[in-house]
Amino acid sequence: MAFRQSLSQRIVTAFVLMSLLVAGAFAVGTVVTVHVVEKRLLSAELGRDLDRLLRMENMDEWRLQPQPDQLFYVSDGPVELAMTEDVAGLDEGFHEVFRGPQSFHAMVREVSGRHYVLLQDQSDFEAREDLMYVVVAVGFIFSLLLAAALGWLLARQVMAPVTRLAHQVRHRDQLLALAPPLAPDYAPDEVGQLAGAFDETLNQLREVLNREQMFTSDVSHELRTPLMVLASSCELLLENPALDERARRQVQRIARASSDMRELVQTFLLLARAQSGQASLAQQATLAQVADELVAQWRAPIETKGLRLDYLSDHSLSTLFNAPFLRAVLGNLLRNAWHYTDSGHIRLSLGADGFVVEDSGEGIPEALRESVFEPFVRVNRERGDGLGLGLSLVKRICEHEGWQIRLQSAQPHGCRFEVRLTSV
């Protein structure tokens, strides 16, 4: 995976790289300039000293007196001035001569076929050069540290309004119709333009959410009447003694589907009202109360199918929850387990922080576990019943109420839904 830097890190990196380029060029230029200038100065100074010695020789004054840190050599001269091997082959001009750990600057002149060499110890020069290198290196490192510090401070100042805007946009209340616009809080610069763009996008999202909530509420409200008619018609048909057993089973199936649809519509209506801020004080109940009610409702269908219902309620919560929503979540999970389990058991366990619904059914393939909570996703379409909205509704209610739901595989096969009603 490619390494990605945050905007703050990129600002700091830009400052450091700019300082590295500028300070590096300045340091190299300083070193080269000082080296060239000192070389010319030393060359000129050695040249003057050598000219003085040559004038003394031309005056037949062999009282040559080089400086204490200088050495003088003449080809074909007296023994004390005889050329050494390391300087005998030097061309005319300025040179550097190394003798073990010592180094010298050398000026060579050729006059009338005779070579003259003047050496000067460069220990002091090297000491000054080393000091200059240290100063330049320290200044270079200090400039990099200063650039990093300035970049960090500037990044904080530049990113402060962006970070604030991100927090405002992420706040869930920003999608409410009464949420104030963001742009007036910022200067008319790039961040202000970004805030204005967010305002336009959030307004569009508010309109979409409002239309969705109104549609869900209206559809849920309008569907209740035909569903009631359908349920009452099924009751009347079941009272007719002329129905044979096959027709009676089909009517019971219609009545059961009508009842499930009525509960689903009612839950969607409550959820739409809650999301629009129009929810009235909903009925409150504990987890055990809702679980007892649903176990009593589902025990007969489960056992009629030849399954075993295990209900463990020793350690349940005493906290009050939104009863319709909790009933919808637990009821849909029990219905899902009943629908996809042909043999074995269904187990409902109440715990200190929520509940677990586990079954020994066919399970959910690994490839579908990420999408099973999406609308209209069904694990096995051959079973025919259902629209694939149950788990989607469960997920929406859990997100709305701040609950957590997790899907795992049961052993040796089946599903295990764990719902946590309290935060850790």
Q: What is the pLDDT of residues 113-172, one digit of tens each?
A: 788 888 888 777 777 777 888 888 888 888 888 888 888 888 888 788 888 888 888 777
b/e map 252-269, b = 16+ CB within 10 Å: eeebeebebbbbbbbbbb
Q: Report whether pLDDT(385) > 70.
A: no
- Rounded distance, CA 424 to CA 420, Å? 9
Q: Report helix, strand or coil for 111.
A: strand
Residue range 359-381, pLDDT digits in tens: 998 877 776 777 777 765 665 55
Residue found under tokens 């992420």: 170
Q: What is the mean pLDDT of the chain?
A: 79
- Name which residue leads in pLDDT, 117 or 271: 117
| Token pair for 287 | 């987890």
In the chain, the domains with their CATH numbers are 7-144 (3.30.450), 171-280 (1.10.287.130), 281-424 (3.30.565.10)
DSSP annotation of 388 reads S
By CB atoms closer than 10 A (0-12, 13-18, 19+), residue 246 is exposed
175-177-183 Cα angle (round to 5): 70
Burial (Cβ within 10 Å: 0-12, 13-18, ≥19) of residue 184: exposed
Q: 140-172: buried (b, 16+ CB within 10 Å) or exposed (e) per residue?
A: beebbeebeeebeeebeeebebbeebeebbeee
**Amino acid 46: pLDDT:** 79
Q: Order of strands across the sheet with 93-99? A: 70-74, 114-121, 102-111, 93-99
The residue type found at 234 is C
Q: What is the pLDDT, as a whole number, of residue 345?
A: 92
Q: In terms of pLDDT, which residue wins out, 26 or 175?
A: 26
Residue 297, both tokens? 């409702």
pLDDT at residue 384, as a whole number: 47
Residue 64: pLDDT band by 50, 70, 90 thresholds?
Answer: low
Q: Is 236 helix (H, G, I), strand (E, B) or coil?
A: helix
Report d(CA 16, CA 284) in Å as an integer: 60
The predicted structure's pLDDT at residue 424: 46
In the block, tokens 């009525």 appear at 262
- Is residue 305 over pLDDT 70? yes
